[in-house]
Chain A
Amino acid sequence: MLGMWKTNAPDEFVSVKFDMEMREGSSPSDGASSTPNSSGRRRNSAEAKEGLGFIMCKRLVQMMQGNIWISLNPLASAQSMTLVLRFQNRPSYGRATFAPGSSSEQPSSNPQFRGLRVILADDDALNRAVTKKLLEKLGCEVTAVSSGFECLSALNSAENSVRLVVLDIQMPEMDGFEVATRIRKVRSRSWPLIIAVTASAEDNVWERCLQMGMNGMIRKPVLLQGMADELQRVLQRAGEGL
């Protein structure tokens, strides 16, 4: 790939164009062929260059609202291939620029998160303060509690207005797994959604989370972008009815 352009039109979509130069003597593996006898039928010279693989690619790219074509040089052999892809603009989570003591502009939060009611359960006061602030930064409305018991009773009194529970797994007395099990006994798998927070680096933690009826997992240390990504993923899956 030798060149890339992006349109600056401030619309819903962004187009990215790739220009690939094809040098003398080399040919793309499944693309245009330069042998003149690839097809017996008379076609225009551009089509004669397109092998089956290329046609399939072209179809797929066009289905994705992009385009791909081959430019020929004066000798009618393939010179360059151009691919245009179109992407939908998504809201970004800009990180505030840091300067000592600066009060930063609010990072743009995903509208999906705005007003999202969350219960946060973590026995560690420090982690609770930081994660709560982080969720509020993303636009959520957070109730922070310090134990599994408090979490369950907060959920009961809130009835159905809480969309998401963010749960530290390693809590004394009642750990996150037990809380999730108890929640799922009386509530559906997607309301409220449950995201586990764990310090563990073990692979099977995620499986266990799933078994207990959780919808997502995030590893400590909890980062703004990490939480935003996992929240988005979990909400999206819930929206798709999974």
Chain B
Amino acid sequence: MERTRLRRQVALTRQSLFDQGFLDEQFIQLEDLQDDANPNFVEEVVTLYYRDSARLITNIEKALEKNSLDFNKLDGFMHQFKGSSSSIGAKKVKAECTLFREYCRAGNGEGLPHLSVQGLNGFAWIHTSCRCTRTFQQIKKEYATLKRKLEAYFQVVRQAGPAETACWPK
């Protein structure tokens, strides 16, 4: 009975992560790869993501602290970070990363015309930098929220125990 209740809790928690837009189909791809040989694959991958991306986040923070922003470098870091976030299906994080990269491209003179370098005076330059910084704060927020939610999710998964699979009697 307890097991059934826990299983239902797992299903509901999981569904809400999708419904609220935290995760996308890529997460399901990871679940598909999980099997008897790697019964905790999804959790392992997510753990790997948070471990690896911590380094990237630090790099981006350092780069944003400089007086004049190197948009190319920032874009490079963000490309990597977006790729990783995409691999685990981190939907909101990924969306903020896309926005950040657009601002980087604007800072470089490509992309959004209303932020193009031709029109950039000192004020507009600061404007772009502010946007990058602000977007990055948003990224960190979504990143931390997702981490909390996933940790809670995996905890319930572990409590519910391995699912029984239908198998022919040996």
Contacts and interface: CB of A to CB of B under 8 A. Distances in A.
B125 interface: no
B128 interface: no
B29 A102 contact: no
Interface in A59-109: 95-96, 98-107
B32 A103 contact: no
Contacts of A101: 10, 39, 157, 160-163
* Secondary structure dominating the interface of A: loop
Interface in A174-233: 199, 220-221, 223-224
Given A126-B88, A220-B86, A95 B162 contact: no
B44 A220 contact: no
Interface in B29-53: 29-36, 38-39, 41, 44-45, 48-49, 52
A104 B88 contact: no
Interface stretch (A31-39, A40-48, A130-138, A142-150): A130-138
Contacts of B7: 100
- Interface range for B: 35 or more
A129 interface: yes
Contacts of B165: 102-105
Given A103-B34, A103-B162, A133-B38, A126 B48 contact: yes
Interface in B62-84: 79-80, 83-84
Given A100-B160, A133-B38, A124 B33 contact: no
B157 A126 contact: no
A107 B31 CA distance: 13
Contacts of A102: 34, 163, 165
B48 A129 contact: yes
Interface residues of A, number: 26
Contacts of A15: none
B32 A95 contact: yes
Given A102-B165, A103-B165, A126-B52, A224 B33 contact: yes
B135 interface: no
Contacts, number: 82
Contacts of A95: 32
B14 interface: yes
B33 A133 contact: yes
A103 B87 contact: no
B110 to A, nearest CB: 14
A107 B36 CA distance: 12
Contacts of B11: 99-100
24 contacts: A95-B32, A98-B31, A98-B32, A100-B10, A101-B162, A102-B163, A103-B35, A103-B36, A103-B39, A103-B162, A103-B165, A104-B34, A104-B35, A104-B165, A124-B52, A124-B83, A126-B48, A126-B49, A130-B30, A130-B87, A133-B38, A199-B83, A221-B26, A221-B86
Q: Which 9 A-B pairs have the closest CB atoms?
A: A100-B10, A102-B163, A133-B33, A98-B31, A103-B36, A101-B157, A126-B84, A101-B163, A126-B48
Interface of B: 7, 10-11, 14, 26, 28-36, 38-39, 41, 44-45, 48-49, 52, 79-80, 83-84, 86-88, 157, 160-163, 165
Given A98-B32, A103-B35, A126-B45, 13 more contacts: A100-B10, A101-B10, A102-B34, A102-B163, A104-B32, A124-B83, A125-B52, A126-B52, A129-B44, A133-B33, A199-B79, A220-B87, A221-B86
